[in-house]
Chains A and B, each alone.
Chain A
């Protein structure tokens, strides 16, 4: 299948930064792929997004987006790419409808040609009542939905979503998920999706790229990452202080963590090796309100584990 994005040893170094924002990153995204991009704050996600959008040029390496170099063949590439940026940029003193008109002009489209599509999108995202409102008066969620409309004036080959759910309510997020799924299924649009809502990535992305400190730490499916790095945990609620103290004396300190005044979590190997001990303590404490909850490993656990490993590696 044709690759929509091919990155080979891509590096971006800003003159004002000590270390590269993106360092030797390589990956491939095929048509129709929905790829999550995860990483802590400052990991280099937004820089990678900017590189793929052709907004900034790389310092080293090769990057091909939609068959061209996003900087050298900017106009050819960018007409096939649409992006929703994290900072929700708008001309704040212009009404919502003008933000869409401007996007239409920048896409080289005639307003008449997209008017019907715009109306459909405005209705879909519940924005038809605020088209005349100045952008700065819109709520965070409304701005985010307006950004999605700007991005979806065309059906792009590559859609880049940088924190698209920030500010969206549950309904807005679900509408967005449905629309993205529709785009990938019906049009083969590839999607790069960054989010701090990791369950959103787990739910919608077939593949995940994890980057940390500018480097690609892992490129795999969520299932594989969970199997490899996810840790089952047990949440134990013990309102009685003596019960909590007893459990602590029976388990290695390293696998017990306090969640709040009454709850402990037992993580990792501890959850499996000492399960019978935990169950015994909770059963004895049941009359005093003791309870137990088993938590399945999630992508979030895998992500935390992976990025923690990276931190430990750097520190040692």
Chain B
């Protein structure tokens, strides 16, 4: 065994008061890349997470494919009769999305509680690069998980949607994932206590899902829930996904645009909150 390492090594900034611009810019870009790379490793290396992301969705879909579809049959959507399975697939995707956003929100706490935020912030990564990387990586995770739910749905049901509807649904999935990821990341950034955060999202998730026209048309909802659904972001997320899948672009873009605007506002606030939180490490 050798007891020394060679002098050939990567030397940085030796005796230079100012550093080459190009190298610094490259470090800034690599910050974003590194955050994304780390998040992806955390996701893909942990098979339990992957399994938990897919399995509950598959079970929900199987239940809907059998018992509930036979029980309910068809529902009226935008004046047309659609199969209950087709009607609920967007809701199951959104449910899967909320589960994934819980994971991404939790990851912020894990990073801080495990001390990794200290390690990460000791590297030459800019705040902007870190926050952008975090948003890109976690949204990618949510999108992948939601699309996985869609693929499981595709395997179980005969979904004869036209190509345009599929495209609108995929675009809608990205937009809605951005928004809900932003919402849960904001909760995680604002609520400093992990247990409080876990209670909040575990109560909030089912409440948001069932106080929106997710598994039933809005006309069938009790009056109070109908009122609540107007201020419930899941209502607009469902509208975006369901509109895309069942009626195409025309039905998707109004709520999609609203979701996108919401995402921009949320991420601006998150950037500010995370920036302040990092300063207090």
Contact = CB atoms under 8 A, between A and B. Distances in A.
Interface in B79-135: 114-116, 118-127
Contacts of A123: 1-2
Given A85-B122, A89-B118, A89-B119, A108 B14 contact: no
Contact of A93 (B24, B45, B123, B280): B45
Interface in A1-59: 2, 14-15, 31, 50, 53-57
A95 interface: yes
Contact of A56 (B38, B125, B279): B279
Contacts of B280: 14-15, 56
Interface in A57-106: 57, 66-67, 74-83, 85, 87-95, 98, 101-103, 105-106
A153 interface: yes
Contact of B126 (A50, A67, A75, A91): A75
Interface residues of B, number: 51
A268 to B, nearest CB: 41
A58 B5 CA distance: 37
Interface stretch (A180-188, A204-212, A218-226, A293-301): A180-188
Interface stretch (B29-37, B56-64, B153-161, B209-217): B29-37
B42 interface: yes
Most B CB atoms within 10 A — which of A31, A90, A102, A155? A102
Given A55-B118, A89-B119, A153-B10, A108 B124 contact: yes
B28 interface: yes
B13 A80 contact: yes
B136 to A, nearest CB: 14
Contacts of A120: 2, 5-6
A93 B45 CA distance: 8
A108 B26 contact: yes
A103 B10 CA distance: 14
Most buried by A among B7, B31, B118, B119: B119
18 contacts: A67-B16, A67-B18, A75-B28, A78-B124, A79-B23, A90-B114, A103-B123, A105-B38, A108-B124, A120-B6, A123-B1, A153-B10, A154-B9, A157-B12, A175-B3, A178-B3, A187-B11, A188-B15
Contacts of B17: 2, 67
Interface in A119-173: 120-121, 123-124, 126, 153-157
Nearest to B3: A124
B281 interface: yes
B152 interface: no
B118 A50 contact: yes
Contacts of A88: 115
A16 to B, nearest CB: 9
Interface stretch (A109-117, A234-242, A247-255, A305-313): A109-117
B38 A102 contact: yes
A66 B9 CA distance: 19
A94 B9 contact: no
Given A78-B123, A94-B42, A124 B4 contact: yes
B27 interface: yes
A147 to B, nearest CB: 9
A179 interface: yes
Contacts of A74: 124, 126-127
Contacts of A179: 5
B115 A106 contact: no
